[in-house]
């Protein structure tokens, strides 16, 4: 919806709406439109759909309704979509059925609960409610100050005129189960009629469905045909000597009758495209002249539909999209003369005919119709077929539906249909769409390397993920800005436990552990997989996973060795690996090897996925002069600045850089970072070293900084000085993206990023003399700097981009959740 056109004057109600004309009694005074819609504010719209489990006809209608009102919020009983692109990235509010056992595959079994479930979805905050209903969506509860427009694909078929067919197909014609089913359907019918009274205006997808609505609800309905992607098909005037039918092979489609008819017409060729439970039954009836191709991709279907002499359609459908698609190719249709086909095919009694009908669903009627078609084939023009199909285009649907809603809602009278912009999925969107529902767990509230990496995952998967933190801070704020659901749990005394060692939690710490596990398990019951981002989060996640019966994936971002962890912590990691981990994602091969050596974990359940780092914030600074960045950070303009970017911790080796500064008086050091986990004493030691060696004018402590790209682009070189093996080395990739030469310690995951003197320079960990010499060479060698910058940037883009990172993590989480 275009909010720019919703000015104050358009929010005044019209004297009489189209909806009033549909529902008012002749001679009665016109109804007053609710005061809520006269308020000076944006009109709020909710769209309610029955269930989101696939992309079929009803979902194609929903897609175009969303295109008409792109700012509307979505509601549905359940949301188990894989491909979510047609929702344009919108989140969906679901009912309690979403969380019930086996809901993903057995949601239809919860039919008795669906009326209750749809009534629990709260849309009271909206001015306009649009329901897209073939089951219970039209039963959403609305108030007297709300306008409810319901696009009805059909009243609940299996509760009304198709009840007996449904019971027969479900083998529920007799016995206690049959009695229960009939009782439930009776209750559904009563509820269906009662809730029809709360709909202000019905829209039907065909005259056939409008008659059903009149029969069942005693209400008139505006007919707006569903959208067909006519543009996806092109006119073909050259036809070949074969007939085509294409459909899912289920009983009511009557594909078996078409095949049986052609088996009795050996002189005519039939091609069948589709798959389904009736496949073997249909194959058994096929003769040599019938080619059954099974499921085929759209390209193959389109090709055959374009070349076919005619398209055969034997089902009684509410509308029948494939009938229109065939005509969009210029292919005439031979269809059963009942249901929606009567409204989409022009027979020989009309000008510009596009097809013919047969009156009974049996092989004899189909044989007779095909014979008559051959006699009159010269009367069908591909151009006429195409022209007839174009009236059912998606663009036509959007125009008509938007106009209908606008006429029904006085506050929208001056609104304009927003221009249609095809949805462009972001890179990796399919992997994101395929992701299961995820609970991400992290122990920290600060923005460390692990948290920045998780932030990239959350940005991409925000419609599929919720986050639990054990501490508050800037990380929670950054997550909240993405729109993701974030819960901060109180870690209590556990926040003082460090990975380097210490006593196992006792007393209050143990109480905190139990509390965190229970709270995490409670949230995990609503998801498919737990994704632990840090070591402490992994321990809580492993225990919570057992309680909630959910698999746990640990994103390992550490080298689990005595240099990084205490003995008791290593023992806990080994125990958790055996007890509660389904899979491990390692941020480097070095991390994976150390974990395997420690735990003997199954190598098939360990994958290496390099961290992904976005180039956008670095590329955005390319036009900003370095002098401006230095002025902003209060750094000297003419000095050769060497930047260190990490928290202040002894193993990160900032003291090695300071020792190199003593040896190299032509350079300045810039230290970006602060002590985070009880490492304040180390910061004091660094300042004492600076004072003792008179480095105060050449060493610049910037502390914690939010804008790391700006800080990196302000320096001349980036150094990584860890004295123990680094699991990955995010700073190295960031330095490459900043187009700065990088010098790093030769150990751990760093070796998987840097090729010495090609895209960076490697030094011996802890060797200040070698570091000083390397930095001196960089300062004097323009050719070396340019080569490192050029190759480093390409390395960062090609190997450590966010797309491959997100796709890798999403793929693994999906695989684990599906086991």
Judged by average pLDDT, the poorest of 56-60, 176-180, 509-513 is 509-513
Whether the pLDDT of residue 608 is over 80: the answer is: yes
CATH top class, domain 230-390:
alpha beta
For residue 25, is pLDDT > 90?
no
Instruction: Return the domain boundaries, the chain.
Output: 3-157+201-223, 230-390, 435-608, 616-800
Q: In what order do the strands lie in the sheet with 270-273?
A: 290-294, 270-273, 243-246, 310-313, 333-336, 355-358
Q: How far apart are CA 71 and CA 703, in angstroms?
A: 41
- How much is the pLDDT for 20? 41
Q: What is the pTM of this model?
A: 0.53
Between the CA atoms of 654, 655, 660 and 663, what dihedral angle is there, to the nearest 10 degrees? 150
Residue 614 CA from chain centroid, whole number: 19
pLDDT tens, 85-117? 788 878 889 999 988 988 888 888 899 999 999
Radius of gyration in angstroms for the set of CA atoms belonging to the chain, rounded to a whole number: 33
Average pLDDT on 242-253 reads 90
DSSP letters spanning 227-254? PB-GGGS-------S-EEEE----GGG-
- Domain 435-608 indexed as CATH 1.10.287.110: no
Q: What is the pLDDT of residue 275?
A: 86
Residue 66 near residue 73 (C-beta atoms within 8 A) = no
Q: How confident is the model at residue 37 (pLDDT cuts 50, 70, 90)?
A: very low
Lookup: tokens for 386: 């195409």
The torsion angles phi and psi of 201, rounded to 5 degrees, stand at -155, 135
Q: What is the DSSP letter of 503?
A: P
Neighbours of 323 (CB within 10 A): 25
* Residues 462, 459: Cα–Cα separation, whole Å: 5
Query: How far is 609 from 260, CA to CA, in rounded Å?
Result: 54
Question: Which option is the CATH number for 616-800: 3.90.1150.10, 3.40.50.920, 3.40.50.2000, 3.90.420.10?
Answer: 3.40.50.2000
Which tokens belong to 420? Answer: 């249609």
List, for residues 568-587, the tens digit of each pLDDT value: 889 999 999 998 999 999 99
Q: What is the pLDDT of residues 385-398, one digit of tens each?
A: 999 999 999 999 99
- C-alpha to C-alpha distance for 120 and 124, rounded to whole angstroms: 11
Report how far apart, in Å, the C-alpha atoms of 177 and of each of 159, 172, 174, 189, 351 are.
Answer: 16, 6, 7, 18, 52
89 Rama class: left (phi>0) / alpha (psi -120 to 50) / beta: left
Residue 771 banded pLDDT, cuts 50, 70, 90: very high
Q: Looking at 294-303, 524-533, 546-555, which range is the least confident one?
A: 294-303
The SS3 assignment for 269 reads coil
pLDDT in tens, 287-346: 999 999 988 888 899 999 999 999 999 998 878 889 999 999 999 999 999 988 999 999
CA-to-CA separations, 140 to 47, 67, 110, 136, 201, in angstroms, rounded:
10, 22, 17, 8, 14
Average pLDDT score, the chain: 88
**Beta carbons of 115 and 139 less than 8 angstroms apart:** yes
What is the C-alpha separation between 649 and 563, in angstroms, rounded? 13
Alpha carbons 186 and 469: distance in angstroms, whole number: 48
Q: Which residues are within 8 A (CB) of 361 and not within 5 positions of it... i.e. 6 or more apart?
A: 254, 257, 314, 316, 336
**Average pLDDT in the 354-372 region?**
96
Cα 194–chain centre separation:
36
Please state, in angstroms and rounded to a whole number, the distance separating the CA atoms of residues 92 and 464. 10
How many residues are present in the chain? Answer: 819
Question: Residue 471: which residues within 8 A CB-CB, separation 6 or more?
Answer: 443, 444, 445, 446, 488, 491, 495
CA dihedral 739, 744, 747, 752 (to 10 degrees): 10
Looking at 97-111, 699-713, 781-795, which range is the least confident one?
Answer: 97-111
Minimum mean pLDDT among 502-511, 540-549, 643-652, 770-779: which range?
Answer: 502-511
Number of other CB atoms surrounding residue 598 within 10 Å: 18
Query: Which residue pairs, CB below 8 angstroms and at least 24 apart, start in 117-121?
Result: 117/77, 118/48, 118/77, 120/95, 120/96, 121/48, 121/75, 121/93, 121/95
**Order of strands across the sheet with 699-703?**
699-703, 667-672, 640-645, 717-720, 742-745, 761-763
DSSP E strand stretches across 612-715: 640-645, 667-672, 699-703
- Write out the two tokens for 607: 């994958």
CA 275 to chain centre: 28
Bridge partners of 699?
669
The alpha carbon dihedral of 399, 405, 407, 409 has a sign of: negative
Contacts for 284 with CB less than 8 Å, ≥ 6 apart = none
Judged against a pLDDT cut of 80, whether residue 757 lies above it is answered with yes
Q: What's the pLDDT score for residue 119?
A: 95
Determine the Cα–Cα distance for residues 721 and 658; give it in Å rounded to an integer: 10
The residue assigned the tokens 């058994």 is: 284
* 230-390 and 435-608 agree in CATH topology: yes
User: Distance (Å, rounded) from C-alpha 482 to C-alpha 746?
Assistant: 36
Collapsing DSSP to helix, strand or coil, 226 comes out as: coil
H-type alpha helices, 5-71: 18-23, 57-68
Helix H or strand E segment including 160: none
* Stretch 344-353: mean pLDDT: 95
Q: How many CA atoms lie within 13 A of 44 on its CB side?
A: 13
- Which DSSP string corresponds to 72-127? -EEEES-B--S--GGGTT--EEE-GGGGSTTHHHHGGGGGGGHHHHHHHS--TT-S
């Amino acid at each position: 919806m275009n909010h720019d056109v919703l000015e104050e004057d358009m929010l005044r109600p019209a004297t009489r709406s189209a909806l009033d004309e549909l529902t008012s009694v002749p001679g009665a005074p016109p109804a007053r439109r609710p005061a809520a819609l006269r308020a000076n504010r944006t009109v709020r719209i909710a769209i309610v759909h029955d269930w989101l489990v696939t992309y079929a006809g009803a979902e194609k209608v929903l897609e175009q309704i969303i295109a008409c009102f792109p700012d509307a919020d979505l509601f549905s009983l359940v949301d188990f979509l894989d491909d979510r692109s047609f929702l344009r990235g919108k989140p969906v509010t679901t009912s309690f059925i979403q969380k019930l056992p086996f809901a993903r595959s057995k949601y239809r079994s919860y039919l008795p609960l669906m009326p209750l479930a749809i009534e629990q979805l709260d849309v009271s905050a909206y001015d306009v409610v649009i329901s897209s209903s073939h089951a219970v969506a039209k039963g959403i509860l609305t108030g007297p100050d709300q306008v409810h427009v319901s696009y009805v694909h059909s009243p609940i078929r299996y509760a009304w005129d198709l009840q007996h067919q449904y019971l027969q197909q479900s083998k529920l014609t007799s016995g206690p189960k049959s009695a229960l089913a009939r009782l439930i359907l009776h209750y559904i019918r009563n509820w269906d009629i009662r809730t029809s009274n709360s709909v202000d205006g019905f829209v039907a997808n065909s005259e056939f469905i409008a008659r059903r609505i009149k029969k069942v609800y005693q209400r008139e309905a505006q007919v707006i045909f569903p959208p067909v992607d006519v543009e996806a098909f092109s006119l073909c005037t050259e036809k070949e000597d074969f007939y085509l039918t294409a459909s899912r092979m289920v009983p009511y489609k009557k594909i078996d009758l078409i095949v049986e008819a052609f088996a009795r017409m050996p002189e005519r060729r039939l091609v069948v495209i589709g798959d389904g439970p009736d496949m073997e039954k249909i194959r058994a009836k096929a003769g040599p002249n019938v080619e059954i191709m099974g499921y085929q991709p759209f390209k193959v279907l389109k090709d055959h539909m374009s070349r076919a002499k005619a398209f055969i359609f034997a089902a009684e459908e509410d509308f029948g999209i494939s009938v229109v698609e065939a005509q969009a190719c210029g292919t005439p249709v031979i269809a059963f003369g009942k249901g929606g086909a009567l409204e989409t095919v022009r027979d020989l009694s009309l000008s510009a005919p596009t097809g013919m009908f047969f009156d009974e669903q049996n092989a004899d009627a189909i044989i007779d119709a095909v014979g008559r078609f051959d006699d009159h084939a010269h009367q069908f023009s591909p151009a006429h077929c195409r022209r007839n199909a174009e009236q059912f285009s998606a663009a036509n649907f959007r125009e008509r539906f938007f106009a209908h809603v606008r006429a029904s809602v006085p506050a929208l009278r001056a609104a304009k249909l927003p221009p249609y912009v095809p949805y462009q999925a972001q890179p990796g969107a399919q992997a994101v769409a395929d992701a299961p529902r995820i609970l991400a767990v992290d122990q920290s509230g600060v923005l460390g390397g692990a948290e920045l990496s998780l932030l990239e995952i959350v940005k991409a998967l925000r419609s599929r993920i919720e986050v639990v933190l054990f501490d508050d801070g800037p990380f929670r704020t950054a997550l909240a800005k993405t729109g993701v659901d974030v819960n901060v749990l109180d870690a209590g005394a556990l926040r003082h436990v460090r990975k380097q060692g210490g006593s196992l939690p006792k007393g209050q710490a143990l109480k905190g552990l139990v509390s965190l596990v229970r709270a995490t398990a409670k949230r995990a019951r609503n998801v498919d997989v737990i994704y632990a981002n840090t070591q402490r989060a992994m321990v809580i996640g492993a225990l919570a996973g057992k309680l909630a019966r959910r698999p746990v994936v640990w994103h390992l971002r550490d080298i689990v060795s005595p240099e990084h962890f205490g003995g008791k912590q290593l023992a806990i990691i080994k125990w958790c690996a055996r007890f509660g981990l389904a899979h491990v994602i390692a941020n480097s091969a070095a991390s994976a090897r150390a974990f395997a050596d420690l735990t003997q974990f199954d190598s098939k359940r360990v994958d290496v996925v390099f961290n992904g780092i976005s180039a956008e914030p670095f590329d955005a600074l390319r036009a900003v002069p370095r002098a401006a960045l230095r002025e902003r950070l209060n750094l000297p303009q003419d000095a050769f600045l060497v930047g260190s970017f990490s928290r202040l911790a002894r193993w990160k080796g900032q003291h090695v850089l300071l020792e190199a500064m003593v040896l190299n008086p032509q350079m300045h050091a810039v230290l970006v970072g602060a002590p985070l986990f009880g490492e304040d004493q180390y910061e004091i030691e660094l300042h004492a070293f600076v004072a003792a060696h008179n480095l105060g004018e050449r060493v610049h402590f910037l502390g914690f900084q939010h804008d790391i790209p700006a800080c990196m682009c302000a320096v001349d070189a980036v150094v990584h000085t860890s004295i123990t093996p680094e699991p990955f080395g995010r700073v190295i990739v960031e330095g490459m993206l900043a187009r700065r030469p990088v010098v790093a310690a030769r150990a751990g995951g760093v070796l998987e990023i840097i090729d010495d003197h090609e895209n960076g320079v490697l030094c011996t960990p802890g060797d200040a003399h070698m570091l000083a010499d390397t930095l001196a060479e960089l300062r004097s060698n323009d050719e070396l700097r340019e080569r490192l910058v050029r190759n480093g940037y390409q390395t960062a883009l090609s190997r450590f981009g966010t797309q491959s990172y997100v796709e890798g993590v999403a793929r693994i989480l999906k695989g684990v959740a599906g086991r």
